[in-house]
Amino acid sequence: MIYIYLIFAELLALTAQEYIPPLPHGARVLLLPLVFFYGALAVSPPAMLLLAFTGGFMWDALVATQVVDGSLEISLGWSIVLYAALGAVMSGFRPLFKRGHGWEIHCLLAGPLVCIFSLSEYLMITFRRGDFIFPKVIWWRIGSEGLAAMIAAPFVFLFLHWLALSFGFIRPREERMAAQH
Amino acid sequence: MRQINAIAVAIFLVVVLILFAFTPRNTQIMQARFLGVIAPLLKNGSSLQTQIIGFREGLKKLNELDAENKQLRVELDELKATDQTLQGLAAENNQLRRALQYRERSAFKLVPARIIARDAGSWWSTIKVDKGSNDGLQPDQPVLTEDGLVGKTTIVASNASTVLLISDENCGVAATVEGTRERGMVHGTRTSTATEPDLTLNFLSKLADLKPGQKVYSSGVGGVFPSGVLVGEVKDFVVEPLEGTASVIPAVDLSNIEDVFVVTGRSK
């Protein structure tokens, strides 16, 4: 049940971030990766792959994939691979999440992982369009997005976690710890 | 690796490889379907945003609205009268053109559309509008406002469409500069966004000597954008080793537009 809840949360995050105005240097507040990273901590690796697929597909279908003069700039599916790779990193910290250190991990890793995501997208379009250019504004944009993600991460985490606990999608930490022992 | 994880990874890779094999046409169909599914959410989000902004700005008093309504009615009557006159002039113009065996040049068929979402990505300049194929829209149709050119449609769902803005690097517009015979191509730079648009006009002659403030119009070459639509005005002109390049300020404030028109054809 938690998968459906998280897929729906991804869809809402994708919609919500369309209405958040851009930050200086054209940086965006990316909510979809934050929801996905929470999912990567909260669910098993196969379920994480399912969330990577849905999140990456939504992002590609709505934002990233552009058909230019009859050819694809970035193929449908690249964001899915990126999400899966970043989700695998986040999944490595699941033991800490189970011990109750979820929001700290989510907050600390969200920034660098969002930066990697943005940089990867920029590298892909640079590879397709040619002219390997890296003006300062690109680095400011990528850095600002990482910083914005770190600031937004605890709120997204706590909200999703509170809802997941309220609806009984995940067990409280005490129960998880008791089950481990 | 546990067996279930290995199976999940294998299934994941197969599905992703299938997606990689999609042709551009199939990808556009898939994107249009997804946009069609998410469009009601975007429309609701857009109206919610409008309500929040309206609430923040405070509701106007009834008498203010009444006065504004009266003023708008007067303006509407004026515009109707002007429109009548212009229709007469257009008919006369077409008659004279026919007499001179010129191709009849008639006004565009415009579909008004409201912006329901702005670009969510960092590297693309797009907006989403609330009209789609049900309203006669198709991919690669020009989008403009009364101030000038905005962009072109790319993904068209039944009830919504994505518009690629002229500030995007991938949106090229063949253009001419007023008062000169110069022709070039306007497009956004890679760092350009709707809020901080950065347009350049390339492929100009080195002797062009353009002055700031000169208007840039679409030339109609390429077939997507009609000729004579204002794109922007020249900000500065630089001579490079092979060509002249001008920076262009867009005519339309791309970050603040709320309503646009999609050109679906020429009216008969």
Judge: B19–A65 Cβ closer than 8 Å, yes or no. no
Structural domains of chain B, count = 3
Nearest by CB to B16, from A12, A72, A77: name it. Answer: A77
Q: Are residues B35 and B162 in the same domain?
A: no
* Chain B positions touching chain A (beta carbons under 8 Å): 4-5, 7-9, 12, 15-17, 19-20, 22, 24, 27-28, 30-31, 34-35, 38, 41-42, 45-46, 49, 117-124, 126, 128, 154-155, 164, 169-170, 190-191, 193, 195-196
Q: Are residues B224 and B173 in the same domain?
A: yes
In the predicted model, is pLDDT for residue A66 greater than 80? no
Assign A140 a pLDDT band (cuts: 50, 70, 90): very high
Contact A14, A59 (CB under 8 A): yes
**B87 pLDDT exceeds 90?**
no
Residues B162 and B228 in one domain: yes
Domain shared by B155 and B233, yes or no: yes
Query: Span B49-63, mean pLDDT?
Result: 71
Check the CA dihedral B129-B135-B141-B147 and report its sign: negative
Chain A residue numbers with beta carbons less than 8 Å from the beta carbon of B119 are 63
The better pLDDT of the pair B222, B214 is held by: B214
Please determine, for residue B49, whether its predicted confidence score (pLDDT) is greater than 70.
yes
Residue B107 has pLDDT above 90, yes or no: no
Collect all residues of chain A within an 8 Å Cβ-Cβ radius of residue B152. Answer: none
Average pLDDT over residues A121-135: 86
Q: Is the pLDDT of residue A93 over 70?
A: yes
Mutate to test the interface with B, among A65, A94, A145 (most CBs of B within 10 A): A65
Position B104, amino acid: E
Q: Tell me: do B65 and B193 sit in the same domain.
A: no
pLDDT exceeds cutoff 60 at A109: yes
Mind listing the domains of chain A with CATH numbers? 2-175 (1.10.1760)
Q: In CATH, what number is assigned to the domain containing residue B120? A: 2.40.10.340
State the ipTM, two decimals: 0.84
- Per DSSP (E only), the strands in chain B are 108-118, 126-129, 142-145, 148-156, 161-165, 173-177, 183-188, 199-204, 215-218, 230-239, 244-250, 259-266
B14: number of Cβ within 10 Å:
9
Closest residue, chain B, to A80 (C-alpha): B16
pLDDT band at A82 (very low <50, low <70, confident <90, very high): very high
Q: Model's pTM, two decimal places? A: 0.81
**Are B42 and B80 part of one and the same domain?**
no
Residue with tokens 């929001």: A103
B210 — pLDDT class (breaks 50, 70, 90): confident
Supply the range of the domain harboring residue B35: 3-57
- B145 versus B62: the higher-pLDDT residue is B145
CB nearest to A18's CB, from B28, B45, B196: B45
**Whether A129 and B164 lie within 8 Å, measured CB to CB:** no
Are both B153 and B259 inside the same structural domain?
A: yes
Decide if B151 contacts B171 (C-beta within 8 A). Answer: yes
8 Å CB contact of A65 and B124: no
- Given pLDDT bands bounded at 50, 70 and 90, which one contains residue B88? low
Q: Are residues B222 and B239 in the same domain?
A: yes
Residues B8 and B122 in one domain: no
pLDDT of A153 over the 80 cut: yes
B-interface mutation test, from A7, A48, A63, most B Cβ less than 10 A away: A63
- The Cβ of residue B215 has, within 10 Å, a number of other Cβ atoms equal to 17
**Among A103-117, B75-89, B177-191, the least confident range:** B75-89
A52 has pLDDT over 80: yes
| Residue in chain B nearest A124 by alpha carbon | B123
Mean pLDDT of B89-113: 69
Confidence of residue B59 (pLDDT cuts 50, 70, 90): low
pLDDT at A145: 93
Share of chain B above pLDDT 90, in %: 19
pLDDT band with cut points at 50, 70 and 90 for residue A176: low
Q: What average pLDDT does the segment A52-64 reach?
A: 91
Closest by Cβ to A62, choosing from B4, B34, B190? B34
Do both B162 and B239 map to the same domain? yes
Round the average pLDDT of chain B to a whole number and report it. 83
Are B201 and B162 members of one domain?
yes
Range A8-35 average pLDDT = 89
Question: What is the C-alpha end-to-end distance of chain A, expressed in Å?
Answer: 25
Q: Do B16 and A65 touch (CB under 8 A)?
A: no
Q: What share of chain B has pLDDT > 70, as a percent?
A: 89
CB pairs under 8 A between A and B: 126
Question: Are both B45 and B94 inside the same structural domain?
Answer: no
